[in-house]
A and B are shown apart, each in its own frame.
Chain A
């Protein structure tokens, strides 16, 4: 492939077969024999630390014991009853800081039970074969609106449908799944998310309306009038700006867009990538963008983060993975200027940083330049608040740019609950969003059935 000095962005940098291999399942499933060997390593701890480390509190020793007796249906039920996205979480959870991080096998062996892989083994067949594990309670006649068909919204919708309520889900995008569908590296979730969503919806009682965004196609006040309850789970649809020049410059891109394009591309070799890629950010989005760039055939991929490795929100495991994939990581440097030539991106000027005695980040006044054909910005997403105010009046209280909720996931606006990334506060993990949705469903159900008791009383 001919090399361009500037603006070298092209698809098909590697042989298509090689790219296909690069985007195959990064962590292939266990077969029965390997699953049984791994299951036999579980001590079946009492009040197990792994359960406590799971935001959805899956009974991990319980499902592993069920695997060991070939009771796969029992194992799947335990997992999915606690976490309806158990299949997705098995693939994308940073288990090394959750369940596996607290596995007692870490000491003295330093090798935890592979809980994520076992969870995938126990759940894949359910999604593949569309096994109905849950049934709905008698119809309550209550209707709930859910905004957003991501992990939080669908987890809430499923839990409400199970309790006999009718749920209408309003999703801005063309497909359901949220970040599961659009925001995670392709090799982590191969041909799975839509099957999982279809399986989840097969319980019935949930209607998903695509292309419906709050503030554009829907008004919160109208939802409140039309439904018995509203659950907001629209995630973070906006992206932060770097504030170092014209980010519309060709060659500058949001990492989430790049990741989305890759996820939606059937043939990854059609997705263009720079010969020299610079990724700015310190989270899993930055890692996913950097590694996928490399796997598309970028010659040099540099990930730059303004603070130290310890401060990165990407886990140690993800950082090590990126390094092993050939991503060059530079810490303690922040973008200072976009360098352009002939109207396209040519490079990025960075300033070295240090942290002062008060923990504040400061530029050192020393600079270096990186050549770049493609700059991927992964410096965080923000809540779009368009739909949360009407007629210039805020409908509900925000806190640090996110929706404020109480312990029962209720917002400051009566009849409206919220969860997932649009609430934030804990972690930005899929599993946390699932837990939020489940938790909110329980609160909404309690609220609605309390109403009924009053009516009957």
Chain B
């Protein structure tokens, strides 16, 4: 039986599944229910200085896709709209009742030293395990010079992180916004500021949909809408890449990462951990299905680790990082061809039309006057498109056909800047 216990920059939790700072961690009631369900920890929904913010009615917009009700979720909710003391009292109470669970407190205060200096002792006094700096929120707060407004300026990140490290002994996690060009710059700044870890990604600037009757974005607030933060399954590939970028960057390599972004299953979590994440944070999946999803995340991860012989999270953490490389280092001699298993083929023809219209005209549509789909190896470039559009598992597989030799772009004759042998 795999050991799922987690120690992330000194923050201990019985498993690596935390709830991200968001509505599910807004108050004691929810957090206690989450702990009862089995979540390893929470990042309490972001605290700010009083007076509290005010939230609008109509807060979420969803992207539905092919029957999936929430392929992506967008929100225009701000940070906690409850008085600071109420939150601090509840944090203290819950941490006392659930000492084995991770209690991290998300913070967002104005970008001045005094504000940060004032709030940190109050948080420390609750017995919380760590603070997470919300430099990511893309709406509402950024217009007030907080959230993403800080996260988009590496110098500010470094400055605020340094204040936090100066005025608190608690471990510090800097939460990064993806609404930037290159995620490595804010990560490097956080590291220079002395952070213990980064967490990413926060939500992505987005407009979910346009209501074509109202001619307004959703969620619509009295006829108008605004850009919000996009999350859920649709953003996971973006988050994976950003986590990988930080994990393989020479300046930030080894910086602990708490991964966030569309995680809803043990497999999603395992993928982020394979890219170096120490733990993961979940929000949208819990908002869609409730806290009980953690049961399968725990048993699924444990069973998969057992099947692979991994005893602890550390046994496989970061194992995929070395295989993430730059395009120019990929083997140009590697060659695969699609193979259609005629016994499994259901004759839908999607492989043919995809290849015929949009790829390489490498799949026939008939043979001896009969409907028949077969790959012409001479034309197939091994792009994988047919395999992806095929609705039958394992019907189209990619077969390796090269001789095992190696050459990448750095030495390729077509490269004007190729290294001379």
Interchain CB contact under 8 A, B391 and A46: no
Chain A, interface SS category: loop
B352 within 8 A of A: yes
The smallest beta-carbon distance between B5 and chain A, in angstroms, is 41
Stretch at the interface among B194-202, B223-231, B281-289, B343-351: B343-351
Asked whether A104 lies within 8 Å of B66 as measured between CB atoms, the reply is no
Given the known A-B contacts A104-B347, A104-B348, A107-B346, are A47 and B371 also in contact in the complex, defined by CB atoms under 8 Å?
A: yes
How distant is the Cα of A367 from the Cα of B142 in the complex, in angstroms?
92
Binds B, one of A4-12, A35-43, A304-312, A446-454: A35-43
CB distance from A101 to the nearest CB of B (A): 13
Question: In the assembled complex, which residues on chain A have CB atoms less than 8 Å from the CB atom of B347?
Answer: 45, 49, 104
Number of A interface residues in the complex (CB < 8 A): 15
Q: Which residues of A lie under 8 Å from residue B392 when comparing CB positions?
A: 108
A43 touches B67 (CB 8 A): no
Q: Given A46, A104, A107, which contacts B353 in the complex, CB threshold below 8 Å?
A: A46
- A40 engages B349 (CB within 8 Å): no
Determine whether B165 belongs to the interface, using a CB cutoff of 8 Å to chain A: no
Tell me if A43 and B391 are in contact (CB < 8 A).
yes
Confirm or deny: A368 has a beta carbon within 8 angstroms of a beta carbon on chain B: no
User: Is A44 close to B, CB under 8 A?
Assistant: yes
Do A43 and B66 touch across chains, with their CB atoms under 8 A apart? no
- The answer to whether B349 and A46 touch across the interface, beta carbons within 8 angstroms, is yes
A44 and B389 alpha carbons, distance in the complex (Å): 11
Measured in the bound complex, the distance between the Cα atoms of B149 and A331 in whole Å is 81
Q: Which chain B positions have C-beta within 8 A of A45?
A: 347-350
Give CA–CA (A105, B350) in the complex, Å: 13
Give the residues in chain A near B67, CB-CB below 8 Å.
36-37, 40
Within 8 Å of chain A (Cβ to Cβ): is B59? Answer: no
Q: How distant is the Cα of A45 from the Cα of B351 in the complex, in angstroms? A: 9
A105 to B392, CA, bound (A): 10
Chain A residues with CB under 8 A of B346: 104-105, 107-108
Counting residue pairs across A and B whose Cβ atoms lie within 8 Å, the total is 34
**Contact residues in B for A108 (Cβ distance below 8 Å):** 346, 392
> Within the assembled complex, what's the spacing in Å between the Cα atoms of A43 and B350?
8
Within 8 A of A (CB), among B384-421: 391-392
**CB neighbours of B348 from chain A (8 A):** 43, 45-46, 48, 104
Confirm or deny: B365 has a beta carbon within 8 angstroms of a beta carbon on chain A. Answer: yes
Q: Mark A32-68, 1 if CB is under 8 A from B, else 0.
A: 0000110010011111110000000000000000001
Question: Which residue of B66, B352, B365, B371 contacts A40 across the interface (Cβ within 8 Å)?
Answer: B66
* Residues on the A chain within 8 Å of B350, using CB: 43-46
Within 8 A of A (CB), among B325-357: 346-350, 352-353
CA distance A456 to B348 in the complex (A): 49
The answer to whether A46 and B66 touch across the interface, beta carbons within 8 angstroms, is no
A48–B66 CA distance with the chains assembled, in angstroms: 20
CA A108 – CA B391 in complex, angstroms? 11
Q: How far is the CA of A45 from the CA of B371 in the complex (A)?
A: 12
* A35 → chain B closest CB, angstroms: 11
Considering only residues 262-288 of chain A, those with a C-beta below 8 Å from chain B are none
What is the bound-complex CA distance between A108 and B394, given in angstroms? Answer: 13
A43 proximity list for chain B (CB < 8 A):
348, 350, 391
In chain A, positions 223-252 with a C-beta closer than 8 Å to chain B are none
Determine which of A46, A49, A104 lies in contact with B352 in the assembled complex, contact meaning CB atoms within 8 Å.
Answer: A46
B304 → chain A, closest Cβ, in Å? Answer: 26
Query: Which residue of chain B is the closest to A39 with respect to CB atoms?
Result: B67
CB distance from B345 to the nearest CB of A (A): 9
- Contacts known (A104-B347, A107-B346); A47 close to B66, Cβ less than 8 A: no
Task: Render A98-116 as a binary contact track against B, CB cut-off 8 A, 1 for contact.
Answer: 0000001101100000000
* CA gap between A107 and B392 in the complex, in Å: 10
Give chain A nearest CB distance to B260 CB in angstroms.
Answer: 29
User: Contact flags (1/0) for B39-81 with A, using CB distance below 8 Å?
Assistant: 0000000000000000000000000001100000000000000
The residue on A at minimum CB distance from B352 is A46
- A105 CA to B353 CA in the complex, in Å? 18
User: What residues of A have a CB within 8 angstroms of the CB of B371 in the complex?
Assistant: 47, 49
> Given the complex, which residues of B lie within 8 Å of A36, measured CB to CB?
67
Report the nearest A residue to B66, measured CB to CB.
Answer: A40
Question: Bound complex: CA of A45 vs CA of B349, how far in Å?
Answer: 6
Q: Name the 8 nearest CB pairs between A and B, nearest first.
A: A46-B349, A46-B353, A104-B346, A45-B348, A40-B67, A104-B348, A43-B348, A40-B66
* Given A43-B391, A46-B365, A47-B349; 11 other pairs, CB 8 A cutoff: A40-B67, A43-B350, A44-B350, A45-B349, A46-B348, A47-B353, A47-B365, A48-B349, A68-B66, A104-B348, A108-B346
Q: List 17 A-B contacts (CB under 8 A).
A: A40-B66, A43-B350, A43-B391, A44-B350, A45-B347, A45-B350, A46-B349, A46-B353, A46-B365, A47-B349, A47-B353, A47-B365, A48-B348, A49-B347, A104-B348, A107-B346, A108-B392
